[in-house]
Copies of this chain bind each other. A is one copy, B any other.
Amino acid sequence: MSRFTHRALKKVGSSPGTLVHVGERKLDKVRLSVMHYTADSLTERTIDEVEEGLDLVKEGTTTWLNIDGTHDVALMENIGRRQGIHPLTLEDVLNTTQRPKSEVFDDYLFVVLKMLRYDTDEESIASEQISLILGENILISFQEAAGDVFEPVRERIRKGKGRIRGFGCDYLTYALIDAIVDHYFVILDHVGRRLEQLEEGIDNHPDAGLLDEIHAVRRELIYLRKQVWPLRDIISLLLKEESSFFSDTTRLFIRDVYDHTIQTIDTIESFRDILSGLQDLYLSIISNRMNEVMKVLTVIATIFIPVTFIAGIYGMNFTHMPELEWRWGYPLFWIVVVAVVVGMIFFFRKKRWL
């Protein structure tokens, strides 16, 4: 359950806005990189001091400062001071268990969401928190660790492909959110495949192992749902907020990513429905099988129990048992046995058990 509650207990009772890193420390050293571009020019480099990035910010250009690793509290405070970021925002950036949300401040817009990737080894969803702070001519992105799903966006910036170089920071913010949401479809595709395997498994060998798999997929869907539902409100807010963080042009694109979010949510709900149906199906098949087992037992036992009793009778050692000495006693015994068996079979046929 830790995935649901690991909001570290060390935070409890601390002053709000206290900068304490909450979560697993996934990197040794914080890594800073910057992309600075206009329609015509591009600088991309790794930097040592955050000031190298912040100093690039200039009207008419776009600066994207990306920070891998949020455990360097001094660095975070430095950025907060330089950019006028509220301590509560910094606190949320450091808290890797933050619920996805978006908040408008006077000078910047703050978005937290979960970048999800499917860990095929563990057969479970791996999550990394991404925080975006959109200010004037600058976008700062925070990640828990190196590695992300933004490489295609960087590639488009490098090659000047699409409209990304010509548009500003708001479009870049959109592009990153879009990259994250696009990746949710990869997750859903994996989950969909597990549902297909489950369905096939239920058809072909509905054994006890499937129960664990049903349960595991349900857990994944509960987790996914918790991460994806807040996106609806986050992106609604971006669409509606009245300050001028987003141009009308970019807002059309945000409507597009909103559309994808709804589709993701719809698919999760459909998957839950399907999983619940598969569970019902599995349990019904188990139940049906038990029924069949019981019928076989009943048929065999019910046929043999009476005739075994008859055999038992003529195994008795009473001195006076006339049947034993009859000439046709033994053949008669067999006639009775056959009659009982045939009668039973008729009875079972009528009951449709055979």
Which residue numbers of A lie inside 8 Å of B, CB to CB? 1-2, 4-5, 7, 9, 11-18, 86, 88, 91-92, 99, 101, 103, 105, 149, 151-153, 156, 161-164, 174-175, 178-179, 182-183, 185-186, 188-189, 191-193, 195-196, 203, 208, 211-212, 214-215, 218-219, 222-223, 225-226, 252-253, 255-256, 259, 262-263, 266-267, 270-271, 273-274, 277-298, 300-302, 304-309, 311-321, 323-325, 327, 329-330, 333, 351, 353
Which of B91, B266, B330 touches A99 (beta carbons < 8 Å)? B266
CA distance A47 to B300 in the complex (A): 75
CB–CB B185/A9 < 8 A: yes
- Given A14-B152, A17-B162, A192-B4, A270:B317 Cβ within 8 A: no
Q: A311 is contacted by which of B12, B291, B297, B316 (Cβ under 8 Å)?
A: B316
- A161 nearest CB neighbor, chain B only: B15
Listed by A's residue number, 16 A-B pairs whose Cβ atoms lie within 8 Å are: A1-B196, A12-B152, A12-B182, A88-B252, A88-B255, A208-B288, A218-B273, A222-B274, A223-B270, A282-B284, A283-B287, A287-B287, A289-B291, A304-B309, A318-B330, A321-B330
Contact partners of A314 in chain B: CB under 8 A: 316-318
How far, in angstroms, from A306 to B214 measured CA to CA in the complex?
39
In the complex, the answer to whether A253 meets B16 with C-beta atoms within 8 Å is yes
Of B17, B291, B298, B309, which contacts A296 at CB under 8 A?
A: B298
In the assembled complex, the Cα of A193 lies from the Cα of B5 at a distance in Å of 9
* Chain B residues whose CB sits within 8 angstroms of the CB of A5 once the complex forms: 185, 188-189, 192, 267
Residue of B nearest to A5 (CB): B192
* Distance, CA A295 to CA B289, complexed state (A): 10
Task: Say whether B293 contacts A295, CB under 8 Å.
Answer: yes
Chain A binding surface SS class: helix
Chain B residues near A222 (CB, 8 Å)?
270, 273-274, 277
A152: contacting residue among B13, B149, B320, B351, CB under 8 A: B13
Q: Complex formed: what's the CA distance from A267 to B4 in Å?
A: 7
Q: How far is the CB of A350 from chain B (nearest CB, A)?
A: 12
In the complex, the chain B residue whose C-beta lies closest to that of A105 is B252
A258 CB to nearest B CB, Å: 10
A222 to B195: give the CA distance in the assembly, Å. Answer: 14
User: Are A317 and B317 closer than 8 Å at their CB atoms?
Assistant: yes
Known: A151-B13, A306-B300. A291 touches B291 (CB 8 A): no
Q: Are A252 and B86 also in contact (CB < 8 A) when A178-B16, A211-B285, A293-B291 are?
A: yes
Chain B residues, Cβ within 8 Å of A99: 259, 262-263, 266
In addition to A12-B182, A86-B252, A99-B259, 8 A-B residue pairs with Cβ atoms within 8 Å of each other are A1-B274, A12-B185, A15-B156, A92-B259, A283-B284, A292-B351, A311-B312, A314-B318
**Smallest beta-carbon distance A14→chain B, Å:** 7
